[in-house]
Amino acid sequence: MIESETRLEGAPNFRDLGGYPTVDGRKVRRGRVFRSDGLHALSERDFDDLSRLGLRLVCDLRSEYERKRKPTVWPQRFVPKTLLMEVNADPRVNHAGLLEMLHHDSSPQGAAAMMSSVYRLVPGMLAQYIPSFFSALVSNDQLPLVFHCSAGKDRTGILSAIILLALGVPREVVFEDYLKTVRYQNRLKLLLHVDEFLEPIYAPARPPQEVASILMGVERRFLEEALAVMGERDGRIDDYLLSAGVTQEQIERMRNRLLIE
């Protein structure tokens, strides 16, 4: 089991992608690439911890709507660069048909269907940013970096899977990393977020717990949907990366930079 040595008070799902084994016997280098939930609630101690990590780049997967509602205010003593990767998977402000799915079927089955649709959409939204992101991964001055969305589970989970598969981490280990979110997420904080999201459908009543649990959770079937859209075969994701504009040279450079014997 791989654990991050740094735990953040304001972002409990912050963790290191390093330490995982690859199919060729190497390991993902630690302290280089991190995944996280939203960074807007970081404490002063959290900022100090990230500064000590030497964090250089923050890749923000949130929409403009999300960023304006919950901005990350960095202290003047420590302001890393930011790469905006606006993967707008929020049905309230984009892809209104997704929210309409819940209006039409507000049952747990309807919630699961909406989540499956989100996971099928995200790879296409990510594709335009993948070349810039991979350029950062192989740059001499962009690491360590962290990428995050709001909850750190859906958009972040899909991008984590892309990186780990590209590095040669076994498929089942990638799913283990994805499902690990349930151990770290702040359930109360996420429940408030989900309640706000579902208010147009259920107000003035509270959303059914079964529906909220699906939207708060991570399930293997959802990530399977995203991998299928990307054409993943036997744990290989290179075709998706190449079609998005990443070169084979960049993929090899990333492996050389982020893997150790």
User: Looking at residue 105, what is its pLDDT?
Assistant: 80
Q: Provide CB contacts within 8 A for 179, sequence distance 6+.
A: 218, 220
Residues 6+ apart with CB under 8 A from 2: 16, 18, 19, 20, 177
CA distance 104 to 17: 38
**pLDDT (0 to 100) of residue 101:** 73
Query: Which residue ranges of the chain lie beneath pLDDT 70?
Result: 1-4, 89-99
Give ∠ CA 214-216-221 in degrees, rounded to 5: 50
Q: Which residues of 129-141 are buried (b: 16+ CB within 10 A; e: fewer)?
A: bbeebbebbbeee
3-state secondary structure of 119: helix
Give CATH superfamily name and number for 15-93+121-185+236-260. Protein tyrosine phosphatase superfamily (3.90.190.10)
Main-chain dihedrals φ then ψ at residue 220, nearest 5 degrees:
-55, -40
Residues 144/148/151/157 CA torsion (nearest 10 deg) = -90
Considering the chain, what percentage of its residues have pLDDT values greater than 90?
A: 67
d(CA 168, CA 157): 17
pTM of the predicted structure, to 2 decimals:
0.92
What is residue 1's predicted lDDT score, i.e. its pLDDT? Answer: 42
- pLDDT at residue number 93: 44
Residues with Cβ within 8 Å of 152's Cβ and at least 6 positions away in sequence, in order, are: 11, 13, 14, 35, 36, 37, 38, 181, 185
Question: Is residue 155 within 8 Å of residue 35, measured between CB atoms?
Answer: no
Tokens 């014997």 belong to residue = 261
State how beta strands 259-260 and 33-36 pair.
unpaired
* Mean per-residue pLDDT over the chain, rounded: 89
Helix, strand and coil content of the chain, in percent to the nearest 5, comes to 50, 10, 40
- 200 CB-near residues (< 8 Å, 6+ apart): 92, 99
Give the pLDDT confidence score for residue 97 in this predicted structure.
Answer: 58
